[in-house]
A and B are shown apart, each in its own frame.
Chain A
Amino acid sequence: MKGIITAARHASFALCALLGSGLASAHHSAAMFDGGKEITLTGTVKEFQWMSPHCWIQLLVPDEAHPDAAPVEWGIEMDNPTGLSRHGWKPSSLKAGDRIVVVAHPLRDGTSGAQVVSVSKDGKPIGKPAEAPAQ
């Protein structure tokens, strides 16, 4: 059920397919992300990029199965700065070295990129509280 709800929340691609990508995103469609799947990434911020057309978190995620291996760098795509600021985010919300937990929709092709759903630090969500899920 959660998967269905999540997929529905990302129906923007369906809109996009019907009426054009402008409706889905200011910049691009979210089609490359799997909106029906959520992953949780725990890692260390390498860089927080406050930039247009999208903000990005470059996150270093340790490989739990291979603790001695180098961490994997993930690129986490976010909204643009204006969109994030409306959720209480600031350019200073994250800095290199911060330990955070990211919930995100992964890329369909399995490479280490994802579209953010939520970010928390020290057990608390960053920004304003998220809206209740769609019913």
Chain B
Amino acid sequence: MRLLALVVRLAVPAALLVACSGPPAPPLPPRVAAFAKLPDWSGLWEPNVFVGEGIGQSLSAEGLKAGASIMGVTFPFTPEWQAKFDAAKAAQAAAVAADPNHPPAPTYNNCASPPFIMNMASPAIYEWRVTPEETTIVDTINGIRHIYTDGRSHPAADEVWPTKAGDSIGHWDGDTLVVDTIAIKPDVMLTPQLGLKMSDQLHFVERFRMVNADELHDELTLEDPVALTKPFEITFVFKRVKDATRMIDETECDSTTDRNPIVNGRFTSITTR
């Protein structure tokens, strides 16, 4: 009798539970399940160098502190590239001395969006659009990077050519996106201000990860066996943007809107418009 009572006491709640919860949920569609495994990097981000930038684009105290760590880097150039670097710096110094009021300008025009890797450290707002097949990084200065995570390889050597963003493929290592990039235009790398080209063997590996709710890191390792004696590492830190809620592309820039035109490789004065 006691046994019967126990069975009833257990069976009735169990039956009620099944009746209330219904049949087990069907498995998620494969793509939805794939989405569910991805980290949430939604929101707007900006490089920490430019957090609190002034209305004239001067750096804040936090930005200066962040920038100082970048300013302190030394590239491990090979002797051949070190000589090129030194010569370029000397030429720039001579140009500044010759006309301090009109300093030498970068080797690309004002209106060009910054090349990779410098587009990862620009005063702009960034978004990471994470999908199972691809992560797209979009910024407000006309920069878009497509990072394919569908298992593909880089294109064959005879099907790839140097571009500003290069060709990127990636895979997930837990919550870290590991990105491999090749085919970057060597003439817009690292030191466009000095006009120093890297070699055509440039190769990048990046590890993107969100270290906390408000900070996302891009740990970048640059390899160039011709120009560098060893891999060069640098980390770009992105902070969550809290004073803006939308992406607005601000790239209306051409000869009619650019009031600081570069003339003969030098910054000019301000034209009236």
Contact = CB atoms under 8 A, between A and B. Distances in A.
Interface residue tally on A, bucketed by range: 35 or more
Interface string B231-273: 0000000000001100010111100011110000001111011
B126 to A, nearest CB: 12
Nearest to B194: A17
Nearest to A84: B55
B56 A78 contact: yes
A70 interface: no
A16 B57 contact: no
A27 B253 contact: yes
Nearest to B270: A113
Nearest to A13: B103
A64 interface: no
Interface string A4-26: 00001111111111111111011
B57 A56 contact: no
A98 interface: no
Interface string B108-134: 001100110011011111000000000
A56 to B, nearest CB: 7
B257 A51 contact: yes
B59 A26 contact: no
A62 interface: no
Nearest to A134: B61
A131 B193 CA distance: 30
Contacts of B169: none
Contact of A89 (B55, B70, B105, B251): B55
B193 A32 contact: no
B49 A26 contact: no
B59 A21 contact: no
Contact of A132 (B61, B68, B71, B267): B61
Contacts of A107: 101, 269-270
